[in-house]
């Protein structure tokens, strides 16, 4: 059975291109409707429109797309946040809002299709969103055990969106020391950037004091 999907984004050209991509390359995907804002999407839903997955941009002209998440979830619709935002606090807010997936607009087409498929099959993580491969990384179950207590502490602060300077101020460390710790964290976890570190923290429930939240 085809995945009935709605697309909510305020850029017409992007919507048109993505809709074409999904229906051309996603054999099991049908774009049921597309909208530029929350009101139009709600009107469609209240009018009897049905879908199983929503691809939702967060920045919808003076609107926060996250405001639509509760209504979508109430209707049993899986929500994938499709955005350009890579900041850790953006990821955390999306997770806390209950989204089922989070993928960057810069992702490769096959990555977007993979996330849609995974989310529709219910294989998303309970507390963290299904990420595209560039954000998720390939983490071993015991990856966190490789980190020292200080490194876990820093991972938790990165997940809160704090800069190196802010982390240094909070922990009484120099910027250079924080950079060295981050370099060690990236090497131990085989990650490439801060976004992946933040995602690791969210997936493993690492709080700002380095322990499970």
How many folded domains does the chain comprise? 2
Answer yes or no: do 93 and 151 share one domain.
no
- In a domain, residue 193? The reply is yes
Answer yes or no: do 96 and 177 share one domain.
no
Kindly report the pTM of this predicted structure.
0.62
List pLDDT tens digits, range 147-183. Answer: 888 888 898 888 877 888 889 988 999 989 999 999 9
- How high is the mean pLDDT of the chain? 80
The answer to whether residue 52 scores a pLDDT higher than 90 is yes
pLDDT of residue 213: 36
The answer to whether residue 140 scores a pLDDT higher than 60 is no
Which of 108, 136, 164 is the last residue before a domain boundary? Answer: 136
Given a contact cutoff of 8 angstroms between Cβ atoms, the answer to whether 164 and 179 are in contact is yes
List pLDDT tens digits, range 35-44. Answer: 999 999 999 9
pLDDT of residue 44: 97
Residue 85: pLDDT band with limits 50, 70, 90? low
CA dihedral 10, 14, 17, 20 (to 10 degrees): -30
List pLDDT tens digits, range 97-107. Answer: 888 887 878 77
- In a domain, residue 86? The reply is yes
DSSP class per residue in the chain: --EEEEEE-S-HHHHHHHHHHHHHH-TTEEEEEEESSHHHHHHHHHTT---SEEEE-SEETTEEGGGGHHHHHHTT-EEEEEES---HHHHHHHHHHT-SEEEETTS-HHHHHHHHHHHHTT-S-SSSPEEPHHHH----TTGGGGS-HHHHHHHHHHHTT--HHHHHHHHT--HHHHHHHHHHHHHHHT--SHHHHHHHHHHHTB-TTSSB-
The parent domain of residue 79 ranges over: 3-136
CB burial class (10 A; 0-12, 13-18, 19+) of residue 68? buried
- In a domain, residue 209? The reply is no
Residue 31: pLDDT band with limits 50, 70, 90? very high
Answer yes or no: do 127 and 163 share one domain.
no
State the CATH number of the domain containing residue 71: 3.40.50.2300
State the CATH number of the domain containing residue 148: 1.10.10.10
**Dihedrals phi, psi of 205, to nearest 5 degrees:** 65, 35
The answer to whether residue 22 scores a pLDDT higher than 70 is yes
Answer yes or no: do 18 and 75 share one domain.
yes
Average pLDDT over every residue of 120-147: 50
Q: Which residues contact 13 (CB under 8 A, 6 or more apart)?
A: none
Which of 88, 120, 136 is the last residue before a domain boundary? Answer: 136
Residue 191: pLDDT band with limits 50, 70, 90? confident
Answer yes or no: do 66 and 164 share one domain.
no
Residue 141: pLDDT band with limits 50, 70, 90? very low
């Amino acid at each position: 059975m085809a995945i009935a999907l709605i697309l909510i984004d305020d850029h017409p050209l992007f919507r048109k291109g993505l809709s074409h991509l999904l229906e051309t390359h996603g054999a099991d995907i049908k774009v049921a409707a597309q909208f530029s804002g929350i009101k139009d999407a709600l009107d469609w839903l209240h009018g009897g429109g049905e879908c199983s997955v929503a691809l939702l941009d967060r920045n919808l002209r003076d609107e926060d797309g996250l405001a639509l998440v509760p209504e979508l979830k109430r209707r049993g619709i899986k929500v994938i946040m499709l955005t350009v935002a890579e900041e850790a606090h953006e990821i955390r807010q999306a997770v806390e809002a209950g989204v089922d997936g989070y993928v960057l607009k810069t992702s490769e087409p096959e990555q977007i299709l993979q996330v849609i498929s995974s989310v529709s099959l219910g294989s998303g993580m309970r507390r963290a969103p299904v990420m595209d491969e560039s954000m998720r990384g390939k983490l071993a179950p015991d990856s966190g055990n490789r980190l020292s207590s200080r490194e876990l502490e820093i991972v938790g602060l990165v997940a809160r969106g704090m800069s190196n300077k802010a982390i240094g101020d909070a922990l009484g460390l120099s910027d250079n020391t924080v950079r060295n710790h981050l370099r060690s964290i990236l090497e131990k976890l085989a990650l490439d950037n801060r976004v992946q570190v933040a995602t690791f923290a969210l997936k493993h429930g690492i709080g700002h004091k380095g322990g499970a939240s």
